[in-house]
């Protein structure tokens, strides 16, 4: 299997040299999941740069600018298409309304040839199954939740995709392949990789452990609140309570630290009680120095398949409707 990795410097706290070092460390430890090729995508000003070579991660040389916020990487283990032909390596470039985007994929897709034939998609010299993701998004003529859901529902096989658009937004489309995201609230930094083991290895190598604050999921003052909300025995009552907690604007507008901890705990424990008609959850949380969105995103990613768009402290999550079956 291949490996996805990357970073998001939301506050531009790090220099280009520091971000290049972080990505290089991630690329190096990601070699355990593939050494045939390595590639990264990032913006230099308004230009999307995709740099990839048929070499292991530790040999890839690149330099990010100080104003680059997002770096999206991939190490490859070849399944289709020779890595020596660089067009077969990730990330891939796509174009929508004259604006470029980049896509990387971890997994194996089985119906790429059938989709290209049945949907009348253009022929391509790229020989990998992953490139069908680019073509499906281009076919819809937009890069948003609708086109990402369409792509996720069309492909068959295993996948997690990352997509970087022209506005420097990073989308994560998580299927049944692993994905791990860490957030460093003191400096506004996200790091991600396909597995937690790889991510922790890179964090240790970079000496970032001391900056990784974890928002506690339980505190003593929450015990009574949990008992009050979830004392009902039936799943229907629990589902109703969870739905109210997840969607009530008044509670999310000015949440207390205790409520944020409770919300995280509820998502982690009772996500299965969300009613099936809810296919899209949008959450914006702002509570002083406490940024709950990244930790909540990490919890949700581990429980639900679907595209996620990261943008500062806000995120939205979408489940492809076919996954409800």
| Angle at 280 (CA atoms; ends 216, 170), nearest 5 degrees | 70
Mean pLDDT of 292-313: 46
| pLDDT score of 101 more than 70 | yes
219 versus 99: the higher-pLDDT residue is 99
Overall average pLDDT of the 252-280 stretch: 44
The helix/strand/coil state of 230 is helix
Q: Which of 116, 42, 100 is nearest to 74 (CA)?
A: 42
What is the rounded CA–CA span in Å between residue 34 and residue 130?
Answer: 15
What digits encode the pLDDT tens for the residues 27-44? Answer: 999 999 999 999 999 999
Range from 48-52, 56-60, 74-78, 174-178 carrying the lowest mean pLDDT: 174-178
Topology (CATH level 3) of domain 3-211: 3.60.20
What is the per-residue pLDDT for 189? 85
Q: What ranges do the domains of the chain cover?
A: 3-211, 220-324
Distance of CA 85 to the CA centre of its chain: 27
Average pLDDT over residues 212-220: 38
H or E segment at 182?
strand 180-184
Tokens of 110: 């089985």
Structure tokens at 124: 């391509």
Other Cβ atoms closer than 10 A to 6: 26
């Amino acid at each position: 299997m291949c490996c996805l990795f990357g970073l998001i410097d939301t506050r531009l706290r790090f220099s280009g040299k520091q971000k290049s070092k972080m990505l290089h460390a991630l690329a190096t430890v990601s070699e355990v999941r593939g050494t045939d090729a390595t590639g990264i995508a990032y913006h230099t000003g308004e230009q999307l740069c995709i740099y990839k070579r048929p070499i292991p991660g530790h040999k890839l040389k690149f330099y990010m600018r100080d104003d680059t916020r997002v770096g999206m990487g991939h190490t490859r283990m070849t399944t289709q298409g020779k890595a020596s032909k660089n067009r077969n390596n990730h990330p891939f470039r796509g174009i929508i309304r004259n604006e470029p985007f980049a896509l990387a994929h971890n997994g194996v897709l089985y119906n790429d040839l059938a989709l290209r034939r049945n949907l009348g998609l253009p022929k391509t010299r790229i020989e990998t199954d992953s490139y069908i993701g680019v073509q499906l998004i281009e076919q819809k003529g937009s890069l948003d939740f609708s086109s990402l859901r369409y792509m996720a529902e069309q492909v068959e096989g295993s996948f997690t995709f990352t997509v970087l658009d022209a506005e420097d937004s990073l989308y994560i489309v998580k299927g049944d392949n692993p994905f791990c995201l860490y957030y460093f609230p003191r400096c506004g930094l996200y790091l991600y990789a396909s597995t937690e083991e790889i991510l922790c290895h890179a964090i240790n190598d970079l000496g970032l452990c001391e900056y990784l604050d974890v928002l506690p999921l339980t505190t003593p003052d929450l015990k009574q609140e949990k008992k009050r909300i979830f004392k009902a025995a039936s799943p229907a009552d629990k589902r109703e309570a969870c739905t109210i907690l997840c969607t009530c604007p008044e509670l999310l507008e000015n949440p207390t630290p205790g409520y944020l901890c409770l919300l995280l705990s509820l998502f982690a424990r009772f996500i299965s009680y969300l009613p099936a008609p809810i296919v899209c959850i949008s959450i914006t949380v702002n509570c002083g120095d406490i940024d709950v969105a990244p930790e909540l995103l990490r919890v949700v990613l581990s429980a639900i398949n679907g595209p996620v768009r990261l943008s500062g402290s806000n995120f939205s999550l979408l489940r492809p409707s076919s996954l409800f079956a």
